[in-house]
Amino acid sequence: MSKSRKDCVVAFIKGFADAEGYVTKNGRITISQKDEKILKFIQLLLLRFEIVSVISEINDCHKLQIHGTNISIFQ
């Protein structure tokens, strides 16, 4: 996937975000996963589009968040 065409990567990320993500009350895009490795992979894919994200851990669940100007790039 990391060497796939950009349109395929976009489709993968959007599908994954639709299935595993949500938008918070303050407008951040958040994707939650138990497995941090999956989120690190998504984070690397996002960097191909210059989208910066942050991964955090809360109660044994990992969250990748996109906020600020990166949201408009993601959309």
Task: Please choose, from the candidates 28, 1, 23, the residue with its C-alpha nearest in 3D space to the C-alpha of residue 12.
Answer: 1
Total domains, the chain: 1
In which residue are the tokens 């065409």 written? 5
Q: Is residue 1 part of a domain?
A: no
- Structural domain harbouring 32: 6-74
Q: Is residue 11 part of a domain?
A: yes
Between residues 56 and 2, the one the model is more confident about: 56
Q: What is the rounded CA–CA span in Å between residue 40 and residue 38?
A: 5
pTM across the whole model: 0.85
The model's pLDDT over 43-62, given as tens digits with 9 standing for 90+, comes to 999 999 999 999 999 888 99
The model's pLDDT over 5-30, given as tens digits with 9 standing for 90+, comes to 888 888 999 999 999 999 989 888 99
CATH of the domain at 66: 3.10.28.10
pLDDT of residue 1: 62
- How would residue 71 be classed by pLDDT, with cut points 50, 70 and 90? confident
Q: Is residue 25 part of a domain?
A: yes
Q: Is residue 39 part of a domain?
A: yes
| Cβ contact 28:65 at 8 Å | yes
In eight-state DSSP terms, residue 33 is E
